[in-house]
Amino acid sequence: MRVRPARPHWTRPSQLDENRHTMPSTTSDPVVARDEIPRFLVEAMRDPFPEYRAWREHAPVCRTPAGFVLTSYAAIDAVMRDDRFIQGGGRHLDRGWERSREAWSRWIIATNPPLHTELRRTMNPPFQPKGVRRLTERVEALVAELLDRLDGRPAFDFVAEVAHPLPMQVICELLGVPEPDRETVGAAAARMAPILGSGEPPEEYVAPGNEASELLLDYFADLCRRRRADPQDDLLSYLIATDLDDDTIVANCQIMFFAGHETTTSLLGSGLLTLLRHPDQLALLREDPDRVGGAVEELLRVCAPVALSQRRAGEDVEVLGVPIPAGSRCLLVIAAGNRDPDRFPDPDRVDILRADNVPHAGSNISFGTGRHFCLGAHLARLEASVTFRRVLERWPSIALADGFEPRWLPSPVFRGLVELPIEVA
Ligand code: HEM
């Protein structure tokens, strides 16, 4: 018998009473309040999946004082594909940080048509399969280098040694960040991360985060000037050769730098943890390494490194029969949609051979859907496929360190492991 989970613990009936709440009106002000992510998402970070399920079973499109919370695959997919839902607000920038605020509004992910259409058309080509295939050799070489450095070490932290450095090196190479600058740029990105992925970044993170944002903007502006004078075979030089102005290029270097590594680090870390916790699936992959493509899709589905996103209703809209008034904020809980039993039967079961989770034939929504579908999806899949294949090939035995208890990033948006200590032989 299927046991129905309890209603989410923080939900009082009054909060779910459609008639008793008006939506918070923040659309006219891009600087939104710090409490914009409902507490349940923050509190459920350690093990959010039962909470997500309870929400979906209660109401897949649920009105709350903080906005609508969408937890079914169909609802999230519908909103992402519907141009009446737009991007807007949702970034934590104190007044006084005008420069970052202006830059962040130029991020491709923050824009709406027609600007988004234009940016997407310009930025797309290097990220298409043909462009990404060019990188295969380089990704193979970087993975081999990282794994070679671990030769003779029976135990190490997979996140620190592989999952973090690989995507960082790849995005730096792609953008054209020279080797000696990578540490500084990476450190700035790490300081900025907490203000991006949290509804309520602790006060002490806000000023350093904003300073780091400015440092990155300065860095990419300087690199942009250097590439203009001396173009190279990199993404930055490619963007400079287009019609985009420098401010837009610099801002989008900043977002690509972020989008390109934190998320992939999380997929590699949580993905390996999932395989180690499901030895039958690990065995299937070891038996036939060509199953790695399916494995990556399934790990994307169950791990969902970007657990949630959001949109605003640009006009009155109905989703699955629920009226959503213009201006309403919609939280799209991607990680919940990926475990919707109406879309993926037996959704909590990890199955790398799933026939219903195949790209282009309707797969998981970890990369989003619709116009903002992840620009780096092919690249992330490439990095993950090469890494899992080579890691399993290198070590016939991999085990979690004794007493390992996962610690997750302190973010309800980006779900990733802080560390993954493993023992190899
Ligand atoms: C496992 C790794 C990754 C995951 C799970 C992921 C997830 C996502 C998601 C969910 C979105 C859409 C958000 C929304 O619609 O609100 C997105 C957009 C985006 N991603 Fe990724 N991403 C990953 C890797 C990458 C990489 C490697 C890059 C490289 C640059 C990248 C660049 C972007 C960009 C630029 C956008 C915005 C696209 C647009 O607005 O048109 N991502 N990603």
What pLDDT sits at residue 237?
96
CB count within 10 Å of CB 229 equals 7
Flag the least confident range among 12-21, 294-303, 404-413.
Answer: 12-21
- In percent, the amount of the chain with pLDDT more than 70 equals 86
Out of 2.60.120.460, 1.10.3720.10, 1.10.630.10, 3.40.50.720, which CATH number does the structure's domain 13-424 have?
1.10.630.10
Model confidence at 205, in pLDDT bands (50, 70, 90)?
Answer: confident
Candidates 374, 378, 388: which one to mutate for ligand 1, based on the most atoms within 8 Å of Cβ? 374
How far does CA 308 lie from the centroid of its chain?
Answer: 8
Averaging pLDDT over each range in 26-30, 260-264, 290-294, 411-415, which range is the top one?
290-294
How remote is the CA of residue 339 from the centroid of ligand 1, in Å?
Answer: 20
Mutate to test the pocket of ligand 1, among 253, 255, 364, 375 (most ligand atoms within 8 A of CB): 375
Residue 2 above 90 pLDDT? Answer: no
SS3 23: coil
| pLDDT > 90? residue 38 | no
Report the pLDDT averaged over residues 402-413: 90
Mean per-residue pLDDT, 115-128: 94
Helices 377-394, 136-148: axis angle to 10 degrees equals 40
DSSP string across 343-412: TSSSTTS--TT-TT--TTSS---TT--GGG--TTHHHHHHHHHHHHHHHHHH-S-EEEPTT----B-S-S
Ligand 1 atom 41, closest CA: 372
Residue bearing the CA closest to ligand 1, atom 43: 374
The stretch 212-236 carries a mean pLDDT of: 95
Summary mean pLDDT of the chain: 87
**pTM metric for this prediction:** 0.90
Tell me, what's the pLDDT at 4? 29
Among protein residues, the one with the nearest Cα to ligand 1's atom 6 is: 367
Contact present, 260 and 376 (Cβ < 8 Å): yes
- The predicted pLDDT at position 91 comes to 52
What is the model's pLDDT at position 88?
74
- Distance of alpha carbon 356 from alpha carbon 124, whole angstroms: 27
Q: How far is the CA of 415 from the centre of ligand 1 (A)?
A: 14
11-15, 52-56, 194-198, 409-413: range with lowest mean pLDDT = 11-15
Atom of ligand 1 nearest to the CA of 261: 27
In 69-93, which positions are buried (b, 16+ CB within 10 angstroms) versus exposed (e)?
Answer: bbbbbbbbbbbbebeebbbbbbbbb
Pocket of ligand 1 (CB under 6 A): 80, 108-109, 120, 255-256, 259-260, 263-264, 267, 305-306, 309, 334, 366-368, 372, 374-376, 379-380
According to DSSP, the β-strands at 67-70 and 329-332 are: parallel
Instruction: Grade residue 238 by pLDDT with cuts at 50, 70 and 90.
Output: very high
pLDDT grade for 223, boundaries at 50, 70 and 90: very high
198 band by pLDDT with thresholds 50, 70 and 90? low
Lowest mean pLDDT: which of 54-58, 176-180, 410-414? 410-414
Which amino acid belongs to residue 183? E
From the alpha carbon of 108, which atom of ligand 1 is closest? Answer: 40
Query: Which mutation among 263, 382, 386 tests ligand 1's pocket best, with the greatest number of atoms within 8 A of CB?
Result: 263
